């Protein structure tokens, strides 16, 4: 697996990129779009007292707000116009995927090809607007109820906040689509990636400052560096890991010519679910802590506060539930994004078969068994990646940026981006070969 990654990196160099004019344009467009995104994370909402907001955020930064602040590149901490980031769009996409596997009408649209995909994308946009309006209204009400953050509370503030935050999310959704089509691809992932990476220097500087003050030992800082390097290597290895199923195609006759049978492979990723399980698990477990912090600020107590006591960072109950939720979402999301029955039907239509397995239902069962086994390994890999840094984040009071979720996102998006650049370079080289062949043909004539 490591050799494949090394080979991929070796094929990409600055000299080949400099010769690919189309790729350079895409890279510059992507960088420009990400700069626009970063500028938006510093434009605050109108009518907000920055100092009161900073004090209020510090008291709740250990909950889900701290996690969302990491994903938004600090926009939540500054309550900027991009505070919601792209998260409503991601949530809408996941909900539409869930409904596609449940509702026959949406499943039929998915099978219609490009036309059906466009309709599903439109449904995703509509749902994004609804989720953004709902979340921005909750943020506006929460800010106004704090008493000191909003300078001029009232209906005008509520409406303007909803319009601004919803508009910011829709702009980022459009920006992500533009990066995907006109840039180097993976627009949504790159926006989240840029938010995490932009604040990494600040997190590192803050950690070093804690070490200088004696709050964190030098040995712990060295251990964190070693752990980060080991996690990056482990993530690269596991994200490249595949289980390849051998597919045979029988001999076929076209006219008077007989073609030999062909073989190919059906690649099954070890981690099909990607970074979705850690994100969902973190959000669910940090939600009670955030609600309890709001209750405490308002002088209230209840069952939420009691749950927070047992579900604090580093507590056994928190670790157990975190691991259990990661495993659950790994299997759940894998079942949504990969359909063994559909894959088996496609192989049967194309005349392909797995050696020793009958086409059709038996093939679907075999693929499902293999997928279940490798998903066990994938889920265990996600649990290890997320729990080990979580111990350091909880016991040493390190920022979220050193957690397994953030490192997993950064490494995975980096690998996908390198693969996209490599694909564009291959396309450029292929176009060059075609032009040379045409030029030689014209000269011979």
From first CA to last CA, the distance across the chain in angstroms is 47
pLDDT in tens, the chain (445 residues): 444 444 444 445 555 666 667 788 888 999 999 999 999 888 888 888 787 777 777 665 555 566 677 777 778 788 888 888 888 888 888 788 778 877 888 888 877 777 888 888 899 999 999 988 988 888 888 788 777 788 888 888 889 999 999 999 999 999 998 998 888 888 888 888 888 888 777 777 777 777 777 777 777 778 778 877 888 888 888 888 888 888 887 766 666 666 666 788 888 888 888 888 887 777 677 666 555 555 544 444 556 556 666 666 667 777 888 889 899 889 988 887 888 888 888 888 888 888 888 888 888 899 999 999 999 999 999 998 888 766 766 666 565 555 667 778 888 888 888 888 887 777 766 666 666 666 666 666 5
Distances (CA, A) of 265 to 11, 93, 337: 23, 29, 19
In angstroms, the CA 21 to CA 12 distance is: 15
Residue 237: CB partners within 8 Å, gap ≥ 6?
Answer: 1, 2
Dihedral over alpha carbons 313, 317, 322, 323 (to 10 degrees) = 130
| Residue 407: how many other CB atoms lie within 10 Å | 21
| Dist CA 184 CA 421 (whole Å) | 7
Q: Which residues are registered as beta bridge partners of 269?
A: 242
Q: What are phi and psi of 268, to 5 degrees?
A: -115, 115
Helices (H), 241-302: 276-297
**In sequence order, what are the residues at sequence separation of 6 or more whose Cβ sits closer than 8 angstroms to the Cβ of residue 39?**
none
Burial class (CB in 10 A: 0-12, 13-18, 19+), 92: buried
Cα 206 from Cα 203, distance rounded (Å): 5
- Please tell me the predicted confidence (pLDDT) of residue 72: 75
For residue 409, which of 282, 291, 314, 262 has the smallest C-alpha distance? 282
Q: How many other CB atoms are there within 10 angstroms of residue 252's CB atom?
A: 12
217-402: CATH topology: Preprotein translocase SecY subunit (1.10.3370)
70 neighbors 401 (Cβ within 8 angstroms): yes
Q: How would you classify the pairing of strands 252-254 and 257-259?
A: antiparallel
- Paired strand residues for 400: none
Q: Determine the Cα–Cα distance for residues 444 and 438; give it in Å rounded to an integer.
A: 10
Q: DSSP character for 261?
A: P
Reduced to 3 states (helix: H, G, I; strand: E, B; else coil), residue 431 is helix
CATH class of residue range 26-216: mainly alpha
Residue 172 confidence (pLDDT): 92
Q: Is residue 238 within 8 Å of 271, Cβ to Cβ?
A: yes
- Is residue 115 classed exposed, middle or buried when 0-12, 13-18 and 19+ CB atoms within 10 A define those classes? exposed
Kindly list the domain boundaries of the chain, sorted by start residue: 26-216, 217-402
CA distance 89 to 95: 10
Q: Do domains 26-216 and 217-402 have the same CATH topology?
A: yes
pLDDT at 425: 76
Rounded Cα distance between 41 and 14, Å, is 31
Q: Rounded CA gap, 374 and 269, in Å?
A: 8
How much of the chain is in helix, strand and coil states, percent to nearest 5?
75, 5, 20
């Amino acid at each position: 697996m490591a050799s494949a990654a090394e080979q991929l990196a070796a094929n990409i160099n600055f000299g080949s990129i400099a010769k690919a004019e189309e790729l350079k344009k895409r890279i510059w467009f992507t960088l420009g779009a990400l700069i626009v995104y970063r500028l938006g994370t510093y434009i605050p909402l109108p009518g907000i007292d920055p100092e009161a907001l900073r004090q209020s955020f510090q008291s709740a930064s250990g909950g889900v707000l701290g996690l969302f602040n990491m994903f938004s590149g600090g926009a939540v901490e500054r309550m900027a116009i991009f505070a919601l980031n792209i998260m409503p769009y991601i949530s809408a996409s996941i909900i539409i995927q869930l409904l596609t596997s449940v509702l026959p009408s949406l499943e039929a649209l998915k099978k219609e090809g490009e036309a059906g995909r466009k309709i599903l994308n439109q449904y995703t946009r509509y749902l994004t607007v609804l989720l953004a309006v709902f979340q921005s209204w909750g943020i506006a009400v929460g800010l106004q109820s704090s008493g000191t953050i909003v300078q001029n509370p009232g209906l005008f503030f509520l409406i303007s906040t909803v319009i601004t935050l919803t508009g910011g999310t829709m702009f980022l959704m459009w920006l992500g689509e533009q990066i995907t089509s006109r840039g180097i691809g993976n627009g949504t992932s790159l926006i989240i990636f840029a938010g995490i990476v932009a604040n990494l220097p600040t997190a590192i500087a803050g950690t070093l400052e804690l070490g200088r003050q004696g709050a964190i030992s030098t040995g712990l800082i060295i251990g964190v560096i070693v752990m980060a390097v080991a996690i990056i290597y482990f993530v690269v290895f596991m994200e490249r890991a595949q289980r390849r199923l051998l597919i045979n195609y029988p001999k076929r006759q076209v006219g008077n010519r007989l073609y030999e049978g062909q073989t190919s492979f059906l690649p099954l990723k070890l981690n099909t679910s990607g970074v979705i399980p850690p994100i969902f698990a973190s959000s669910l477990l940090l939600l009670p802590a955030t609600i309890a912090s709001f209750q405490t600020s308002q002088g209230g107590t209840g069952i939420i506060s009691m749950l927070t006591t047992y579900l604090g960072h580093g507590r056994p109950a928190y670790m157990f539930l975190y691991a259990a939720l990661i495993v659950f979402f790994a299997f759940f999301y894998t079942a949504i994004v990969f359909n063994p029955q559909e894959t088996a039907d496609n192989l049967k239509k194309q005349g392909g078969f797995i050696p020793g397995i009958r086409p059709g239902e038996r093939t679907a069962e075999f693929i499902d068994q293999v997928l279940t086994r490798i998903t066990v390994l994938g889920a265990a890999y996600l649990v290890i990646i997320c729990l080990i840094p979580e111990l350091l984040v909880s016991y040493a009071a390190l920022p979220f940026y050193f957690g397994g979720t953030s490192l997993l996102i950064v490494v995975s998006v980096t690998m996908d981006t390198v693969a996209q650049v490599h694909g564009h370079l291959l396309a450029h080289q292929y176009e060059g070969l075609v032009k040379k062949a045409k030029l030689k043909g014209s000269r011979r004539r």
